Structure 1
Amino acid sequence: MQDTNLPPPSARRLLDVAHAKANHRLYGFELDGKKYFVKRLEQHRTRRARLMKGDPARALAREIALLEAFSQRGAPVPQIVAQDDTCFIMTDCGPPIHRTAVTSNAPEVIWRAVGTALANLHALGLVHGRPAMRDICWDGQKITFLDLEAGAKLKASQQDMTRDVIVLLHSILREGNQHPQAATFFQDAYRQNDTLGVWDACLIRARRLWWVEWVIAPVVLWHRWNGVARSEFAAVRPTRQFLLSQNQQE
C-alpha cells in the first residue's frame, strides 16, 4: 500500500525516472503512487520536417514558457514539476475528453465543463490555438488544457478566440455520432460564460467562410471514395452548418 503522505519526489529524481523510460516523445509514468506525464524534445527525421516545424529546442522552451505564463494567469493547464533541455514533466490531469466522454455516465457534464473552461480561458485574454479533443483532459472534477505548441497566445484577439471555438467544434463533429449532442452542450455552456462577444463573432465568421466548402470539395470526395474515416475535410461542412443553424435560431 502506497503512503499518500510521502513528500513529492525531487525534480532530479523525476527526471532520472523519465529518462530511464524515454522510449516515446509523449508518455506517462507513476512514482510514489502519483502519475506524471512527460513531453520530450521532438526529433525531426527529415529536412522537410525541420523546415516546416522549426527548431525543436526553441519549440520546447516556448511551450514551457507558455505553460508557466498561462498558469500564472490562472488558466487550467498542467503544473510543470521538472524540466531540462530535453523534456518537461507535468502532473497527470486525467484522460483526454474524447475517451472520458464515451465511457462517462454523465457526458453532458464534461462537455459543459469544456465550454465553460474555454470561455473562462478567453476571458483571461488567452487562447489555446488548437484545442482539439485530444489536448483537453478531464479528471472527474476539472478541465485541463494541454499542448500549447500551435498558436497559443498571451495577448489574444477576438479572431484568435473564434478560431479556438471553431477548431474545437470541428474536432467534436469530426467524430460523427460518437459524441451525440456534445457540440450542443459545449456551445450552450460557452455562450453562457462568453463575456466578450466571441460566440456572435463565430457566427459571423461561419457565414463569411462559405467559400471553404467549395475549395475542399474535391478532397472530401476523394476521401469518401477511398473510405477515409473521420476526415478532417469532411467535418468542415458539419461544423459550418452547426454554427449557421445556431444563427438561425436566434
Structure 2
Amino acid sequence: MKLSSLEKHVQSLRQQQPNKRVFSFEYEHKKYWLKQVEKVRGAMKLLKSDPQQLLTTEIDTLKRYNQLKAPVPVVACSGTDFVVIEDAGVTLKHLFLKQKLTTEQALPVVQVVGKALAELHAQGLNHGRPALRDIAWRDGKVTFIDFEAYRADMDILSLQSRDLLVLIHSFYRDLGEAGHTLVHQAVAAYREAGGEDVWQHALAKMRRLSWLEMLLRPIKPIAGKDLRPLYPMMDFIKSF
C-alpha cells in the first residue's frame, strides 16, 4: 500500500525515536501525538498488562468511536504497534494545575465535562478511565483521550457508573479539597444531561461500600495519593 506523506513522516519519526512511547510533533502546521507500544523489560513484564494488547484495544476503540462521531481524537494513521492522533488541546489536569484557573473560571469548564460524559454514555459508550489527565479541552469543547484503560468486561451501566466514579475520584486526587465545588457542578451537569440512571447506579455502588469508611479512617494520616481521595469522595456521596 502506498504511504501518504504523513505516514512517511511518521515512519521517519519512529526511526529517530524508537524507544519514546508518546510524543507530539507538527506536520503541515498541525499538531499530532504519536504513541508507540511500550517496551517493558525485566520483571515488569510479569507485573504489567500486555502493552501490545493495550495499544490494539485503544486503536480499535478510537476508530470505532470515530465512526460514531464520539468526542474522541481523530486517528490520523496507525499500524500494529503505533497510532497517531490529532491534538485535541490541553488536558484538564494541565488546565487546572498549570494554568491555575480560579473556581469561577473552572465552573463552566466542569459543567461542559459533565455534560460531555453524559452524552458519551447516552451513545451507549464508555471510556474506562476518564481522569482529568485523560480529558482534553480546547475552545469550549471536551475530547476524551487515552483509551488504554478501556474495558468491556461488565454490563454497560456498570462500566458507565465506573467512569463517573473515576472522574469524581480524579477531581479529589488532583485538586484535593478544592475539587469539592467542581465535583458538585460536574455531577449536576452530568445528571441534567441525561445521566441520572448512571448516577443512581454509581451512588448505590458506593453506598454498598460504605463499610470501607470505618476500615479506612484509621489509616487516613498515611494514605497514599490514590487512597487519600476516597475520604472526601465518601463524604461527597453521603451528602446525597
Same fold (TM over 0.5): yes
Matches within 5 A, 1:56-75: 56-75=51-70
From 73, 82, 85, give the equivalent of 1:78. Answer: 73
Aligned-pair identity (%): 31
| Correspondence for 2:30 | 34
Contact 1:132 1:167 survives alignment (8 Å): yes
TM-score (norm 1): 0.83
Secondary structure at 1:126 match in 2? coil
Letter in 1 for 2:158: Q
Question: In 2, distance between residues paired with 1:236 and 1:134?
Answer: 18
Contact 1:126 1:153 survives alignment (8 Å): no
Count of matched residue positions in the alignment of Structure 1 and Structure 2: 232
Which string of whole-angstrom CA distances, capped at 9 and with x for unpartnered residues, describes residues 143-187 of structure 1? 111111124339852121111111110110122145462112211
CA drift of 1:218 comes to 5.6
- The CA RMSD measured in Å over matched residues stands at 2.4
Q: Which blocks of at least 5 consecutive residues in structure 1 are unaligned?
A: 1-7
TM-score (norm 2): 0.86
| Correspondence for 1:12 | 8
Question: In 2, distance between residues paired with 1:191 and 1:93?
Answer: 25
Matches within 5 A, 1:153-232: 153=152, 156-174=155-173, 175-179=175-179, 181-195=181-195, 197-217=197-217, 219-223=219-223, 231-232=225-226
Letter in 2 for 1:28: S
Contact 1:70 1:154 survives alignment (8 Å): no
Contact 2:31 2:87 survives alignment (8 Å): yes
Secondary structure at 2:90 match in 1? coil
Letter in 2 for 1:58: Q
Letter in 1 for 2:71: P
Question: In 2, distance between residues paired with 1:240 and 1:18?
Answer: 45
